[in-house]
Amino acid sequence: MWHAVGVRDADRLQNDVASLCRTAFNRVIRPEIRVDRVDGEVLVGVYIPEASDADKPVYSPKIGLPKGAWRRIGSADQRCTDDDLAMFASRAQRVPFDRRPVPEARRADLDDDAVAMFRRQLRESRPGSELHALSDDDLLLAVGGVTRSPSGPVPTAAGLLFFGRKLAIRQHFPGTVVDYVRVRGTKWTGDQGDTYDTLEIREALITGWRRAYSAVLDDLPTTFQLAEGSPLRRNVAKLPDRVLREALVNALVHRDYELNSSIQVRRFANRLEIENPGYSLLAEASLGEHRSIRRNPTLADLFVLLDLAEAKGTGVRRMRERMHEAGLSSPIFENDREARFFRLTLLFHHFLDEADVRWLEAFGELGPGDAQVLIFTRDNGRVTNPQLRAFCGDDTHAATLRLRRLRDRGLLDQQGRGVATFYTLSGPLPERRPQASLFDLGQQSRPKFVPSSDQVLVLASAEHRMSLLELMEVVGSTNRTRFRLRVVLPLLTAGLLSMTEPDRPRSNRQRYVTTVAGREAAGSEGAR
């Protein structure tokens, strides 16, 4: 437990810190200093904002470079290397990377068929655009695909990536690959013993994004919808297609193309992960707040022109809304500045199946949301505070308390320190009865769900909105956790029951309503 001891001379301390920041480094640092009183003691808080790319590296002139500059890696400070200095020099250039000309590239490295495809799609998305009247070279110049030079047009990085021929992309950007990995089960380490297969996509972004999108969409688990008043059944992917499109385009637009590493799209039995090189320039807490900082503004504009990307920083917010509308958990974002990657996780289910319920029963009484934490940790190998906040809806403080409580109960082990902290399941733990994965089942549907007598009562009663406690009274249950796990969650998973507040499962205003399919199921079981 921490307690405040205070400082003796807050004014002098503030002056000393400000003076040190002004004189001790190659750049003048402007600290944010705040004085507060806690438990009667005076405290001084100092925040040093991250330097801009143009100002990095910040170092001690007395020591010089590279040893006078440091980088924060996890919970440790490490001296910069020559490679770090080269990276800082590249990022300090005012011209974005995707706008810079590729010196050895030629206009012939751009595929005329790709330019023609761009024109066709532009007519559909922007029929009144002034770009239609331009020649191919002028069009490429206008959208940032080439720059002028005495010897003729020279492709920019964006132009080569978006319109380039396959061989030219391989020559100039060998790491520009989308690897689609299909994994059997829920875990993958990349070892030879793992069962998986891959599809490598290495081509211009104007066609490559669609190929990746189609490959993933065809593999997603499906469910069927029956439109009201129509006898026709329609198969739809459990993951909204607009969410998948936004996620893939974001990875292509925001990745760091100076890193020689591929984008990996990993499809597991229970989730989809999209990981791209380069961290997000926005903090995780700012994602979805109508803000956007573009690492590759020219590429982003090309996708916006074709209506394939959002221009107002609303893409993340809409992804969350569509996932909630589909009854799925919010997207989970991981932004690792030290390891320099960004990962998005999309879960195929929000609730628990019967095997999950049996597995959780061995843990005894669990608080609201704890079951989802344990299931997620089991299937993903680890859980972090930001991940928990995404799928449980907790704030930072509540997520920390939840993780500590599960740790203190001996259900989770804490690993790492500071921002690098994560949690794993403690052992020995109850075994989960294995199920066939989506890899094995393909597009087959699950066996028909047959509700129990208690579940039939719930479905018959919840035609009008009812709370969890009201439903417990209907069936005479007194154990809230057991009732939720054994009665309610299977009905939610089967689509027979729905929540009025799907994005806030633990809301005090939460009510449950029987769906059309639920009324049919209750009627057929009641008639037997």
CATH of the domain at 406: 1.10.10.10
Tell me, yes or no, if the pTM score tops 0.75.
no
Q: Are 129 and 301 in contact (CB under 8 A)?
A: no
Residue among 176, 166, 156, 167 nearest 260 (CA): 176
* 111 and 191 co-located in one domain: no
Which residue shows structure tokens 């297969």? 197
Q: Which of 172, 188, 222 is the last residue of a domain?
A: 172
CATH, residue 87 = 3.30.950.30
In 10 A of CB 237, how many CB atoms? 18
CB neighbours of residue 321 within 10 Å:
16
- Nearest partner of 512 among 482, 492, 490, judged by Cα: 492
Name the amino acid, one letter, at 327: G
- 353 in a domain, yes or no? no
Domain, as residue range, for 269: 178-347
Asked whether residue 354 is assigned to any structural domain, the reply reads: no
The pLDDT of residue 488: 84
Type of residue at 48: I
What is the CATH number for 266?
3.30.565.60
- Which residues of the chain fall below pLDDT 70? 1, 73-75, 90-94, 189-194, 222-237, 283-291, 313, 349-354, 368, 419, 427-449, 502-506, 524-528
- Among 91, 113, 145, residue at a domain's last position: 91
In a domain, 439, yes or no: no
CA distance 459 to 518: 6
Answer for the pair 451, 522: CB distance below 8 angstroms, yes or no: yes
With beta carbons less than 8 A apart as the criterion, state whether 78 and 43 touch: no
Establish if 442 belongs to a structural domain: no
Q: Quick one: 72 and 102 in the same domain? A: no
Do 257 and 376 lie in a common domain? no
CB proximity list for 334: less than 8 A, separation 6 or greater: 284, 341, 342, 343, 344, 345, 384, 386, 387
- Rounded CA gap, 503 and 500, in Å? 9
Number of residues that this document lists for the chain = 528
The dihedral sign for the CA sequence 87, 91, 95, 96: positive
* Per-residue confidence (pLDDT) for residue 450, from 0 to 100: 76
Same domain membership, residue 114 and residue 76: no
Residue 480 in tokens: 């809230």
* Cβ 204 vs Cβ 164: under 8 Å: yes
185, 188, 194, 199 alpha-carbon torsion, rounded to 10°: 90
Is 377 part of any domain?
yes
Q: Does residue 263 belong to any structural domain of this protein?
A: yes
Residue at 300 is within a domain: yes
Q: Mark whether 292 and 189 lie in a shared domain.
A: yes
Same domain, 388 and 271: no
Q: How many domains does the chain have?
A: 5
Nearest to 14 by CA among 55, 56, 45, 58: 45
- Domain check: are 111 and 229 in the same one? no
- What is the spatial distance between Cα 134 and Cα 156, in angstroms, rounded to a whole number? 19
- The pLDDT, as a whole number, for residue 237 is 65
Is there a single domain that holds both residue 336 and residue 225?
Answer: yes
For residue 254, the number of C-alpha atoms closer than 13 Å in the C-beta half-sphere is 27
Calpha distance 209→231 (Å, rounded): 35
Would residue 340 be called left, alpha or beta, if left means φ above 0 and alpha means ψ between -120 and 50 degrees?
Answer: left
Q: Note whether 165 and 221 are same-domain residues.
A: no
Q: Are residues 14 and 85 in the same domain?
A: yes
End of a domain among 377, 398, 429? 429
508 shares a domain with 459 = yes
Is there a domain that residue 436 lies in?
Answer: no
Do residues 191 and 305 both lie within one domain?
yes
Q: What share of the chain is helix, strand, coil (3-state, %, to 5)?
A: 40, 20, 40
